[in-house]
């Protein structure tokens, strides 16, 4: 069995992601504080916070795919995409995602691959093609 290729840590990406999460947390806390300041009972503020967190966790990947116009593609429509995904999954020793989505951008950039894996049953792969 082939050994996985070690990939170094991207500290800049880690810093950017941490900063983004911190800023989103600050917005979330500020909104909850505003609700408290407005006199909303603490129980309702707690319920609102839980609902917002659940929506962000389970709905964020679908929201991004809908806003980008991603369409699910079959193996007959995009054989190269499915073969590439199968090879990548085999090399990484992980199961192949059940769904593949593809969308087209009109801006000049390289092709992108990304996997959404919030929960095992909603695993999908998104690929971006350029025009």
Beta bridge pairs of residue 127: 102, 113
- As a whole number of angstroms, the longest Cα–Cα distance in the chain is 62
Name the pTM for this structure. 0.53
Range with lowest mean pLDDT among 5-19, 84-98, 101-115: 101-115
Q: Which residue has the tokens 């911190």?
A: 22
d(CA 108, CA 113): 16
pLDDT in tens, 77-98: 888 888 888 888 888 888 887 7
Mean pLDDT in residue range 27-47: 94
Task: Say yes or no to pLDDT of 44 above 90.
Answer: yes
């Amino acid at each position: 069995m082939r050994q996985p290729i070690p990939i170094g840590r991207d500290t800049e990406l880690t810093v950017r992601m941490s900063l983004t999460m911190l800023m989103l947390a600050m917005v979330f806390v500020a909104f909850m504080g505003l609700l408290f300041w407005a006199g909303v009972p603490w129980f309702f503020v707690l319920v609102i916070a839980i609902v917002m967190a659940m929506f962000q966790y389970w709905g964020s990947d679908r929201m991004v795919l809908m806003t980008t116009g991603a369409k699910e593609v079959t193996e007959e429509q995009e054989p190269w995409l499915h073969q590439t995904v199968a090879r990548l999954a085999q090399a990484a020793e992980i199961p192949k995602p059940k769904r593949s989505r593809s969308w087209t951008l009109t801006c000049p950039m390289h092709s992108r691959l990304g996997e959404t894996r919030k929960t095992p049953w909603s695993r999908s792969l998104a690929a971006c093609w350029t025009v």
